[in-house]
């Protein structure tokens, strides 16, 4: 009997389990094989079309643990977070085709989307050269998958993410700046953060949006003067003011905070940031303490994966244009 379980916090929707998320062609093919009494043991390999960061293996292991028999099966894979190359086999499943063939669509989709998000996150992390990246991509994806894109961001190297579900899945603490709309409704950022300080538990860092209603430097100094050591940091968000957060602005703000004895206040840069934009801050020595990245991760293109059978009942086989037989990849490790 197939195993069950929910390792690493991943869960598989019932619609996926019954195949409603699979191509209809797979359903029809499975029906033909069942009616003909054909169910060979096959080895199916999943390989990427480009360079990137692998993600989705842990989720796929949950799916396979529910559908594969406990005997006469083998699953070999790379690890989430591993760098992968074009045509490199990242996952190989060997089992009776009837036990997992229906899920080819879902497995490809998990790998493609998750690896795309993780790869985008890794690009930002690499560009930041050790400065922490906080993932805030939830506004750019459907709410049903925010936890998955958040988790993929952590696999890509981000230190934290913004949603409760995402942080639960990835084992991190959720991090997000107070919405600037709250300050707009209250009418003053300082009064907003004083209310935050009053009502939000003390263990939650006091990090304030500082580009909502007034000049960023004026706002930051006012906040620091009022909250003193309780103010952990300020966020400069270029999204709300035409992308005007620049390395020179961060340098000036850092200098003015230091001159007013607020050396403890961190500066976080947010907005429509890309790896190239991050590199500009790094190259100019701008004293950024952290970057928040949303759009670049959330709207990242998928890293396409291709599934192909390479062995049937122990004999080499493949579709035209591919090489029959198991593809050698010494990096693979047996995971099931």
- For 50-73, how does the pLDDT look when each residue is reduced to its tens digit (9 = 90+)? 999 999 999 999 999 999 999 999
**Residue 18: pLDDT band with limits 50, 70, 90:** confident
Burial class (CB within 10 angstroms; exposed 0-12, middle 13-18, buried 19+) of 96:
middle
DSSP-derived secondary structure letter, 243: T
pLDDT reading at 7 higher than 50: no
Query: What phi, psi does 332 have (nearest 5°)?
Result: -70, 145
What is the pLDDT averaged over residues 123-149? Answer: 96
pLDDT reading at 95 higher than 60: yes
pLDDT reading at 213 higher than 90: no
Residue 94 and residue 141 in contact, taking contact as beta carbons nearer than 8 Å: no
Nearest to 83 by CA among 44, 139, 40, 126: 126
Sort strands 305-312 and 315-316 into parallel, antiparallel or unpaired.
antiparallel
- Tell me the percentage of the chain whose pLDDT exceeds 70: 96
The pLDDT of residue 3 is: 36
- Tell me the percentage of the chain whose pLDDT exceeds 90: 86
Which residues sit opposite 233 in a β-bridge?
207, 266
Q: How far apart are CA 232 and CA 47, in angstroms?
A: 44
The pLDDT of residue 15 is: 87
Nearest to 57 by CA among 20, 49, 2, 65: 65
The larger pLDDT score, comparing residue 240 to residue 285, is at 285
Residue 188 and residue 213 in contact, taking contact as beta carbons nearer than 8 Å: yes
Which residues sit opposite 133 in a β-bridge?
291
**Residue 240: pLDDT band with limits 50, 70, 90:** low
Domains and CATH numbers, the chain: 7-115+301-334 (3.20.140.10), 119-298 (3.20.20.70)
Count other C-beta atoms under 10 Å from residue 217's C-beta: 18
């Amino acid at each position: 009997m197939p195993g069950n379980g929910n390792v690493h916090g991943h869960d598989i929707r019932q619609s996926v389990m019954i195949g409603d998320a699979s191509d209809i062609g797979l359903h029809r093919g499975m029906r033909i094989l069942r009616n003909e009494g054909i169910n060979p043991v096959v080895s199916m390999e999943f390989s990427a079309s480009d360079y990137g960061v692998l993600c989705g293996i842990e989720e796929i292991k949950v799916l396979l643990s529910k559908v594969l028999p406990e005997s006469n099966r083998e699953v070999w894979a790379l690890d989430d977070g591993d760098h992968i190359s074009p045509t490199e086999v990242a996952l190989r499943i060997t089992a009776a085709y009837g036990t997992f063939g229906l899920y080819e669509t879902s497995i490809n989709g998990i790998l493609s989307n998750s690896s795309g998000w993780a790869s985008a996150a890794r690009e930002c992390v690499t560009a930041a050269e050790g400065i922490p990246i906080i993932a805030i991509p939830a506004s750019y994806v459907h709410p049903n998958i925010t936890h998955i894109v958040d988790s993929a961001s952590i696999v890509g190297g981000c230190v934290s993410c913004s949603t409760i579900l995402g942080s639960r899945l990835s084992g991190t603490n959720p991090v997000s700046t107070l919405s600037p709309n709250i300050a707009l409704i209250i009418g003053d950022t300082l009064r907003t953060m004083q209310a935050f300080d009053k009502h939000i538990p003390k263990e939650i860092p006091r990090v304030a949006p500082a580009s909502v209603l007034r000049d960023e430097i004026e706002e930051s100094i006012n906040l620091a003067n009022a909250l003193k050591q309780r103010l952990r940091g300020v966020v400069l968000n270029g999204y709300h003011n035409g992308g005007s957060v620049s390395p020179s602005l961060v340098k000036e703000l850092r200098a003015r905070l230091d001159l007013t004895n607020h050396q403890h206040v961190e500066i976080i840069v947010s907005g429509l940031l890309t790896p190239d934009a991050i590199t500009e801050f790094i190259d100019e020595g701008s004293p950024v303490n952290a970057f928040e990245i949303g759009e670049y991760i959330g709207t990242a293109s998928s890293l396409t994966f291709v599934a192909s059978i390479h062995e049937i009942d122990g004999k080499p086989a493949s579709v035209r244009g591919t090489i029959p037989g198991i593809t050698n990849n010494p990096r693979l490790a047996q995971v099931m």
